[in-house]
Structure 1
Amino acid sequence: MSNAPRDHGGGLDGAAMLYGGARNDWIDLSTGINPVPYPIGEFTQNDWTALPDAAAFNALTQAARSFWNVPDGAAILPAPGASALIARIPALATAARVDIPKPTYNEHAAAFQAQGWTLSQDNPSARVLVHPNNPDGRFWSDSDASAPLTVLDESFCDIAPDASLIHLAERDGVIVLKSFGKFWGLAGLRLGFAIGDPTLIARLNDFIGPWAISGPALRTGALALNDHTWADQTRARLGADAARLDVLMRTHGADVVGGTSLFRLYDVGDAAAWRAKLARAHIWSRVFPYSDKWLRLGLPAPDQWARFSAALSAK
């Protein structure tokens, strides 16, 4: 198996090596991270110095159950990022065939293949559905969650809670993943959740071990998940900014392929040329190894729109 890094967004250090500038000179639009993150509050000394206790974990899981309307029959496991869960889920079942519809987030296929699974649509024992999908924004339906082990990756679904498939989380064999790095814009916090079949969640808990979540992450996660007003206001702002980005990109000849209100996917004809043009203005975007036409953009922060628009207009 190759040790080459998989294709992802980010990588500003590499971009700066190619196009110059210090890291702080760059606008990173290559990810789907909310550019206006949830405001970090004050921490106590115990948040940093004490082993996290049961009360802090309970406060976080109760907030998660309320925010995501988790069914009573489903269990919740906080973890140090959704990626930590993705890497361990394939070990929950005997390796066989797994269906992961493409194009999509590539870490799922890598994790299953590392555990000996074969990618196949033919009578799979497991299926992974990224909901909404990255990069095209496709939503799935209840009937798509049909494999004995079904993983529903809802890392970007907090922009559209009414479309969530969380009601399936109490089904046998179903695991729903949630990420704290996208909608809340706190990727560095490293907080994610597995929600679903209690038997599978208990086994994942054994894989991860005790004290997996830091004290600051427990406190911040509970505060944010209880802040429904911030979430509602954020959804409205993201929706408006995504529409604004579409208008701007269409003005410059791009066609909208899809995406979510955290990232947009465009057909620009020559994705490499568009990426290079933006990079010369120290704006980093996302291209894909399977398409020479698709360019994906996250949302500019409120103070970055003028600079982004100027980069699009530059010769």
Structure 2
Amino acid sequence: MNLRHHGDREATPGLVDLAVNVHPAPMPPWLREAIASSVDDLARYPDPTPAEAALAAHHHRGRSDVLATSGAAEAFTLIARLRPWRRPVVVHPQFTEPDVALASAGRAPEHVILDGGFTLDPAAVPDDADLVVIGNPTNPTGVRHPAAAIRSLTRDGRLVVVDEAFNDDGTESLAGELVAGLLVVRSLTKLWAIAGLRAGYVLGEPTTIAELRDLQPPWSVSTPAAAAMIACTTDEAVTDAKARHVDVEQWREHLERGLDAAGIEHVPSTAPFVLARPGAGVHASLRAAGFAVRRCDTFPGLDDSWIRIAVRPPEVSTKLLEALSARP
């Protein structure tokens, strides 16, 4: 199973991109201006301290609770190297970079595969797991787990890592809570369409954040990325984020209604993508019809009968639904 496969490999030129979960609208003017203005400071080495302070205030946390990272992927790499994990567990299906990071660090992650709607059963996690990684909402299922269920996973001698890269509305988020033994990984690249900038961060207990900081390469977060982090915490950003989230909700409802009408099995989603099960071979047939969707046989717990569809405006989703309905 190719755990390094991601949606960007699907979105090749000439295809309608429904594989990458980046908001289709361009970055807003205030964000573009902040990034462009930061170019004047490129002669100096980057300093993420002001960005971390802004992110901490945004989540009503202490400054020492935040570590800025080069995207969420760097956070998983640092976490994998944080301890000599004895029994790391990744709850699947979910984003596979935690698996890759652990394997690169010489750790063999164990999988807890969720079924029955892909909802979390805390009892399924082994009692002696010292690292547990889970997404919320989860990529690729779109399922959002109760914060209380995730909080219940914490215990002495265990670190619980929650990937909140797609938690754009704050529902069931643990980002604003200081919970012993819990790290929250966040990303700014999806909602604001800045995937190429690599802007993420980790929230957690100050001692754990300090240990992660010691593992981080110097100047890991670029000056433009730090500027984007600050800009995305402003009142204007909060207002625009709510508007973007409303758009995504409406677009997702249109897509899910279309899947229902076509009789295609899918998982009710709370994310900017929908996991659907139109059957084996559909991924290839959609590519032949001009549509790139995310194959799902690279996610533990799924097979090639599943595809992940990025949420797009209705006129785009309607064309995809027509292509699905036109299958023999």
1:98–1:124 contact (8 Å) kept in structure 2: yes
Identity in percent = 28
- 2:231 aligned with 1:242, yes or no? no
Q: Do structure 1's residue 114 and structure 2's residue 114 form an aligned pair?
A: no
Do residues 66 (structure 1) and 66 (structure 2) align?
A: no
**Displacement, 1:165?**
1.4
* Contact 1:81–1:190 (CA under 8 A) maintained in structure 2: yes
**Cα distance in 2, alignment partners of residues 238 and 188 from structure 1:** 21
Local SS of the residue matching 1:78: strand
- 1:46 aligns to 2:35 (yes or no): no
Partner of 1:192: 200
Equivalence for 1:223: 231
Corresponding letter in the other structure for 1:31: V
Q: Tell me which residue corresponds to 1:139.
A: 145
Partner of 1:240, secondary structure, is helix
Map of 2:19 onto structure 1: 30
- Would you say 1:163 and 2:169 are equivalent positions? no
Change (3 A) 1:8 1:231: same
Contact in 1 for aligned 2:166/2:271 (Cα 8 Å): no
Q: List gaps (5 residues or longer) in structure 2.
A: 111-125
Q: Name the counterpart of 1:20.
A: none
Give me the TM-score of the superposition, normalised by structure 1: 0.84
Q: CA deviation at 1:256?
A: 2.2
Distance across 1 between alignment mates of 2:203 and 2:248: 25
Alpha-carbon separation, structure 2, partners of 1:275 and 1:125: 37
Flag the 1:70–1:93 CA change in 2: closer, same or farther, 3 A: farther
Q: Give unpaired runs (5+ residues) of structure 1.
A: 17-22
**Greater alpha carbon shift after TM alignment, 232-241 vs 183-192:** 183-192
Q: Compute the RMSD of aligned alpha carbons.
A: 2.4
How far off is 1:313 after superposition? 4.4
**AA aligned opposite 2:43:** T
Shift of 1:5: 6.0
| Separation in 2, partners of 1:286, 1:209 | 32
**1:69-148 alignment, distance < 5 Å:** 69-72=59-62, 75-120=65-110, 121-136=126-141, 137-140=143-146, 141=149, 142-146=151-155, 148=158
Q: Tell me by how many angstroms 1:243 deviates.
A: 0.4
Pair 1:219–1:301, CA change in 2 (3 A): farther
Does structure 2 retain, via aligned residues, the 8 Å contact 1:271–1:295? no
Aligned partners of 1:303 and 1:217: how far apart in 2? 32
Q: Tell me how far 1:233 sits from its aligned partner.
A: 0.6
What is the aligned residue count?
A: 296
Pick the structure with more helix per residue: 1
Contact kept? 1:183, 1:262, Cα under 8 Å: no
Query: What secondary structure is seen at the aligned counterpart in 1 of 2:73?
Result: helix
TM-score, L = length of structure 2: 0.81
Counterpart residue type for residue 236 of structure 1? V
Other-structure match for 2:308: 296
